[in-house]
Amino acid sequence: MMLSRTADHLFWMGRYMERAENLARLLEVSHAISLMPRSHNGGAEISAPLALTGRLEDFQSRHDGTEPAQVLHYMAYDLGNPASILSALRSARENAHAVRGKISSDMWMSLNASWLEGRKLAEQGEDFQWFFDWVKERAHLFRGATYSTMRRSDAFYFLRLGTFLERADNTARLLDVKSHLLPDQQSADSTDYYTWSTLLRGLGAFEAYHETYRDTLNGKRVFDLLLLREDMPRSLRACFDEIRQALAQIQGDNGRPARRLATELNAALEFTAMDEVFDEGMHPFLRRMLGEINRLGESIQRAYLEAA
Amino acid sequence: MHALMLPHSSHYDEMLLSSGAVRPHYQGFAEWLQAQTPEALSRKREEANQRFHRVGITFSVYGDESGAERLIPFDTIPRIVPAAEWRALEAGMRQRVKALNAFLHDIYHDHAIIKAGIIPAEQVFTNAQYQPAMQGIDLPDQIYAHITGVDIIRHADGQYYVLEDNLRVPSGVSYMLENRKMMMRLFPELFARHAVGVVDQYPALLLSTLRQASRIDNPTVVVLTPGHYNSAYFEHAFLAQQMGVELVEGRDLFVRDDHVYMRTTAGHKQVDVIYRRIDDAFLDPLAFRPDSMLGVPGLLSAYRQGNVILANAIGTGVADDKSIYPYVPEMIRFYLGEEPLLNNVPTWQCRKQEDLQYVLEHLDELVVKEVHGAGGYGMLIGPVASEAEKQLFRDKLAADPAGYIAQPTLCLSSCPTFVEAGIAPRHLDLRPFVLSSGKDITMVPGGLTRVALKAGSLVVNSSQGGGTKDTWVLED
């Protein structure tokens, strides 16, 4: 049992920290791909993060063209952009501040320092790649502090709900952007190799791919890995499983609709094969999943987070 | 070696005589200090600053548009209080708080002290802090002020004086606890050399005080905060966490059938004791300020029915008002039949014609304060005021004499403090925290020592650039 407002802050604290990390990963991938020699595609690639976060229009109203450095600055450091990494770090810290009595001091200090130091790095105009690595490290540190110091109570599970709902949303969006690159058959094209390897590296899944498939990179398998594999921590399936488990741990009967939905989604992916996904079409499938994730979020909101 | 700037003989210094000799209870510390290099101490101060920032022991400043949070400057030279002095202070505060609670019960019941002609009726009943809604309400054990912060200073005569009793929502106790934690972290060897009274148990004592405030066996206690933009939010969160109770905002609570509930992820839960860190005026928009978004509609009605306890009670402000302060020694005699153990500062009440006359004639020597002012705002310090400032106060006194009191300019004692030029004497005060329940009155040995960081300044408030020190009460 906890205050609904407290649960709400914990949920969003988890979401924003996860968002900061995902943004760093996304920008890293886009940055790397935009540097490819066949750079006629570079402009589209670097503006992908803007489209993905719904900030393209706002960005265009402030800047002429899409210079990579401008896009990266806007998405990494600009506090005027609510979807930037620094804004996410600030929001995570603000939510933590409102419930600092409910989290361990290790967690609070890690989030507080991430915001204070992040702001300093932004002021200094720190090199982007260095900043992205730093953000990932801060996310790891926060996760580590959470796992090793936070009591396994409702607070912990609301934090996890926020984390994995955000991650599910992010994985689905990221794959959706790449779905048009999916070839029908195995491709040996070096550009594609670069795209898929960059994507996998960005998601920290490069090694896992090779361990799992022991074969060259191909888009279909990349999608299999990141959609259906339950042993991949950033896959859609793994996120649904985590959400289902977290909901099962939270006390009280308020959350039945949310629990049912999470269980259904998890089961649906468990018994889905990649061929069926391709039959439906990758893009329609992912749009449907994004809709379900949204529904799940709303149902959690209604059950626990809104003032009773 | 450190060169300590010597204190001026016009005031009392906690550590040094004006000859430079060290007072006996500071001997151990002085020896240790001389064995440290300035570089090592400066590193320690830097470490303390970084840690306070990381931990977020900060406060936000009203009117600061950037919303930036600042540290209250922390000084690493402790204020040390000898055991015998503390025993006298403790007995005096106990007596004082007991009398103040008796006074509050009296003015909301039989008005005996008024009938006896000791305090004029209009001083109480026309006071803005007097709450008519409290008349006739019986509180458990007749406790109104569960938590009191007593502001004490030491004058040039070496005597302690009570400057103010804070009976509404006294703050600062978290700094007392965090300052101690920091000193033990930075200088563990000092604690091996000194028997310093322990203060860590304060949150446990507070929780037990709050639980005893209720007539219920196992009451649900919460801390009510205005929210995380409040300047003392750190303290609200800190105390809630240390006590293991919920930190709630007004919107987390609601009243149904004169009972108070909080909204939780598993439904409603009844609340029995509210340690509120919100002023009376904001508690209940139905009863007090209708524009308040911080309070809980219907709270006063639930409170009057006895279904929830507020700590402190509504309407305690009338007893710590500067216009009532001069009567505290009389209260002690009237309710307890004892002579006051602690000194009150002599006070001129400008509402009295002869007092006003005296104040106007001696403006150069006096401190003039607004009766309802707090935080060091709205006061005139005669000896250092400019002619324009003094003229402003002459006008104010002429327009609203009852709104002001005056006191002699007390020479707050000083203590060596790190400043840019080295170590120099700076003025300070002391705020111990007194907890009252039906069973007993308790306090931890120590309090918040506030220090004015500007040379010669007597204003110790953190909102005006004051800092803090750890307070050591030595054990025999």
Q: What is the mean pLDDT of residues B104-120?
A: 96
Both A122 and A159 in one domain: the answer is: no
Chain A residues touching residue B233 (CB < 8 angstroms): 97
User: Which residues of chain B approach chain A closer than 8 Å at the C-beta?
Assistant: 53-56, 227-228, 233, 237-238, 240-241, 246-249, 251-252, 262-269
ipTM: 0.72
Predicted confidence (pLDDT) per residue in B342-359, tens digit? 999 999 999 889 999 999
Looking at the complex, report in whole angstroms how far the Cα of residue A53 sits from the nearest Cα belonging to chain B: 27
| DSSP 8-state assignment for residue B334 | I
| DSSP 8-state assignment for residue B163 | E
A102–B contact, CB cutoff 8 A: yes
Residue of A nearest to B69 (CA): A116
Residues of A (275-304) whose Cβ lies below 8 Å from B:
304
* B314 token code pair: 């509504």
Residue of B nearest to A158 (CA): B265
Residue B67's pLDDT band (cuts 50, 70, 90): very low
Both A26 and A38 in one domain: the answer is: yes
Q: How many domains does chain A have?
A: 2
* B54/A113 Cβ within 8 A: yes
Lookup result for tokens 């890690």 = A110
Both A139 and A160 in one domain: the answer is: no
* B54/A100 Cβ within 8 A: no
CB B133 within 8 A of CB B429: no
Angle between helices A190-202 and A154-178 (to 10 degrees): 170
Is the pLDDT at B60 greater than 80? The verdict is no
In this structure, what are the phi and psi dihedrals at residue A152, rounded to the nearest 5 degrees? -80, 75
A123–B contact, CB cutoff 8 A: no
* B4 token code pair: 């300590």
Stated length of chain A: 308
Domains annotated on chain B, with CATH: 201-311 (3.40.50.11290), 346-408 (3.30.1490.270)
Looking at the complex, report in whole angstroms how far the Cα of residue B329 sits from the nearest Cα belonging to chain A: 41
Q: What range does the domain containing A134 cover?
A: 1-150
Residue ranges for chain A with pLDDT beneath 70? 37-43, 182-191, 307-308
* B252/A4 Cβ within 8 A: yes
Both A93 and A115 in one domain: the answer is: yes
Mean pLDDT, all residues of chain B: 91
Residue of A nearest to B229 (CA): A98
* A112/B54 Cβ within 8 A: yes
Residue B65's pLDDT band (cuts 50, 70, 90): very low
| pLDDT in the model for residue B12 | 96
* B54, B265, B266 ranked by CB distance to A109: nearest: B54
Q: DSSP string covering A191-259, please?
A: HHHHHHHHHHHHTT-HHHHHHHH-S---HHHHHHHHHT-TTSTTSHHHHHHHHHHHHHHS-SSTTHHHH
Looking at the complex, report in whole angstroms how far the Cα of residue B150 sits from the nearest Cα belonging to chain A: 27
Both A174 and A133 in one domain: the answer is: no
Q: A107, A128, A150: which is the final residue of a domain?
A: A150
| pLDDT in the model for residue B269 | 93
Both A27 and A85 in one domain: the answer is: yes
Residue B66's pLDDT band (cuts 50, 70, 90): very low
* B56/A7 Cβ within 8 A: no
Q: What is the mean pLDDT of residues B91-120?
A: 97
Both A93 and A24 in one domain: the answer is: yes
Q: Is the pLDDT higher at B409 or at A171?
A: A171
Q: A115, A150, A185: which is the final residue of a domain?
A: A150
* B249/A5 Cβ within 8 A: yes
Both A242 and A189 in one domain: the answer is: yes
Is the pLDDT at B68 greater than 60? The verdict is no
CB A166 within 8 A of CB A19: yes
Residue B63's pLDDT band (cuts 50, 70, 90): very low
Strand B448-452, strand B466-473: pairing: antiparallel
Both A253 and A270 in one domain: the answer is: yes
Predicted confidence (pLDDT) per residue in B236-286, tens digit? 999 998 999 999 999 999 999 999 999 998 888 999 999 999 999 999 998
Is the pLDDT at B131 greater than 50? The verdict is yes
CB B303 within 8 A of CB B310: yes
Both A71 and A125 in one domain: the answer is: yes
Both A26 and A52 in one domain: the answer is: yes
* A94, A116, A308 ranked by CB distance to B267: nearest: A308
Both A190 and A59 in one domain: the answer is: no
DSSP helix/strand/coil, B269: strand
Looking at the complex, report in whole angstroms how far the Cα of residue B249 sits from the nearest Cα belonging to chain A: 9
Tell me how far apart the alpha carbons of residues A262 and B384 are, in angstroms, rounded to a whole number.
Answer: 70
Q: A100, A116, A150: which is the final residue of a domain?
A: A150
